[in-house]
Amino acid sequence: MEHVIEMLNIRKEFPGIVANDNITVQLKKGEIHALLGENGAGKSTLMNVLFGLYQPEAGEIRVNGETVKITNPNVANDLGIGMVHQHFMLVEPFTVTQNIILGNEPKGKLGNINIKKAEKEIQEISDRYGLKVDPSAKISDISVGMQQRVEILKTLYRGAEVLIFDEPTAVLTPQEISELIEIMRSLVKEGKSIILITHKLKEIMEVCDRCTVIRKGKGIGTVEVKDTNPDELASLMVGREVNFKTEKKPADPKEVVLHIEELYVQDARKIDLVKGLNLDVRAGEIVGIAGIDGNGQTELIEAITGLRKSRSGKIQLKEKNITNLKPRNVTKSGLGHIPQDRHKYGLVLDYPIGANMVLQTYYQKPYSNVSILNYKEIYNKANELIKEYDVRTPSEYTPARALSGGNQQKAIIGREIDRSPDLLIAAQPTRGLDVGAIEFIHKKLIEERDKGRAILLVSFELDEILDVSDRIAVMFDGKIVASRKPEETNEQELGLLMAGSTTNEAGDSSDIK
């Protein structure tokens, strides 16, 4: 039998929306099959149907040619289908082994759990696929990339032959992404088959054999990756031409809006992670911070936005000293912040998406008057933003939780830009967005720049940094170690600088400020 999985004419409805409308996907044995589509196109939904989390209203699923009914994830497991979700499902205080065997514990003679045996097995699987996971490490102590590999291990331990990856690379650093790609290659070499959801066309071109495109819940078709190119894929999925290179006029920087001087910030363990950082961002320019995760970017942003106290140094927003001000006061002083972790900081997931649109302004007119909320104004504003930023949601009353990841992000971005802050901090603003949405967001950022706003962009995507920034500041070990014009540098040089090679090797860095 050639196809390990066949999903034929699948239909899945949600209140007010048809998430999957007659979609067909066929997975060959030993292939990596990409699933591509805009935010909210219905990719996660389709995979949740395959994994037994949702029941389809119509359609047929065949595993190895046999029609099956996957009523819950256990059935999927038994059929050899494993899923690595975008948001990991791990118990933090448990070890890797404990997490992996959870619900599937190997029993000893007396019904006791045989941890030793499990650890050995896990180590074996880990070695075979090059996962480099320490079975006895605690989840709370390991990196995001490692946690993801634990999720992969979990599916393999349960005997998965087919692995579903839902946007695995969205949360990874470029280094971790290339490791993951290696892992996927060794998985298919061992005869596994993979369905990969990703918005990054580069990844599809690099590892996938075939690609099925979904647009607004409908299956558009399946293409051989070797016969196509990123432009074609993008226009297939969006339904129009997409511009990858963002067009922009040269920047016209004016007065300094954000001025940071000798800033020191500690993390929760009281270790300095920002170590004497200096940085200026001017009105009308986009400064991109390039750096490997863990070099103090998160702490820097938290210090500017008031979420974390700085140990010493000075942060100035326009004329005002905002060092160690409370978040509310920083916001009032003219800050907009697109946070890196949208579920933790960006949204109250249980509130309607409309109520989330006034998260910082609910206490101001016209959204409230003498503490009494004016829902009409709130939802008017929400509707306006939903339209302008193309947030796809059944209605403004839908809980934020029910929106697809990319649409949640668009909602946050709309909210932050709409306050027209003097300084906009955008941390990984396009994480999890489709190419069309990325193009749109980049255009918006540049529009804001041209209106005279100062923009600080933090991103692990060098493409994005190179494409959007007017000036690139490389951050390494808690400091800005170099400053470059995007047209005068390239990925190689930035990569070296980010890894901490001295400025001499990588070229001169005058003009840090």
Partner 1 sequence: MRQVIQVTSNNRLFGILVPIISVLLGLIAGAIIMMISGHNPIEGYVALWNGAFYDAFTIGETVRRITPLILTGLAIAFAFRTGLFNIGAEGQVIVGWLAAVWVGIAIDAPMIIHLPLAILAGALAGGLWGFIPGLLKAKIGVHEVIVTIMMNYIAMYVSNQIVRSVLTDHSTSTEHIASTASLGSEWLQALTFYSRMHYGILIALFVAVLMWFIIDRTTIGYELKSVGFNKHASKYAGMNVSKNIILSMVISGAFAGLAGAMEGLGTYGNVSVISGFTNLGFDGIAVALLGANNPLGVILAAILFGVLKEGAGEMPSAGVPTELVDIIIALIIFFVASSYIIRWALLRFKKEGK
Ligand X SMILES: Nc1ncnc2c1ncn2[C@@H]1O[C@H](COP(=O)(O)OP(=O)(O)OP(=O)(O)O)[C@@H](O)[C@H]1O
Residue 194's SS3 state is: strand
Of the pair 44, 155, the CB lying nearest Mg ion is at 44
Of the pair 156, 403, the CB lying nearest partner 1 is at 403
Of the pair 138, 332, the CB lying nearest partner 1 is at 332
Of the pair 80, 339, the CB lying nearest partner 1 is at 339
- Point out which residues bind ligand X (CB under 6 A): 14-15, 17, 19, 37, 39-45, 392-393, 402-407
The span from the CA of 335 to the CA of 140, in Å, is 32
From Mg ion, ligand X, partner 1, none, interface partner of 373 (C-beta below 5 to 8 A by class): partner 1
From partner 1, ligand X, Mg ion, none, interface partner of 327 (C-beta below 5 to 8 A by class): partner 1
Strand partners, 215: 218
Contacts of 116 (CB under 8 A, 6+ apart): none
Of 220, 223, 211, nearest to 238 by C-alpha is 220
Residue 347's SS3 state is: coil
Residue 326 makes contact with partner 1 by CB under 8 A: yes
Residue 305 makes contact with partner 1 by CB under 8 A: yes
Quick one: DSSP state of residue 133?
Answer: -
Host H or E run for residue 497: helix 491-498
Residue 408 makes contact with Mg ion by CB under 5 A: no
Contacts of 168 (CB under 8 A, 6+ apart): 84, 86, 148, 180, 196, 198
- Which of the ranges 40-48, 221-229, 285-293, 337-345 carries the binding residues for Mg ion, by CB under 5 A? 40-48
The span from the CA of 95 to the CA of 300, in Å, is 31
Residue 132 makes contact with partner 1 by CB under 8 A: no
Of the pair 52, 339, the CB lying nearest partner 1 is at 339
- CB 372 to partner 1: min, Å: 6
Quick one: DSSP state of residue 267?
Answer: -
- CB 406 to ligand X: min, Å: 3
From ligand X, partner 1, Mg ion, none, interface partner of 406 (C-beta below 5 to 8 A by class): ligand X
The span from the CA of 270 to the CA of 434, in Å, is 38
- Whether the bond between 168 and the residue before it is cis, its omega within 30 degrees of 0, is no
Contacts of 343 (CB under 8 A, 6+ apart): 87, 349, 408
Of 157, 205, 165, 210, nearest to 183 by C-alpha is 165
- Which of the ranges 29-37, 85-93, 262-270, 389-397 carries the binding residues for partner 1, by CB under 8 A? 389-397
From Mg ion, partner 1, ligand X, none, interface partner of 402 (C-beta below 5 to 8 A by class): ligand X
Residues in the site for partner 1, rule: CB under 8 A?
15-16, 305, 307, 326-329, 331-332, 337, 339, 344-351, 355, 359-360, 362-363, 368, 371-373, 394-395, 397-398
Instruction: Tell me which residues touch Mg ion (CB under 5 A).
Output: 44
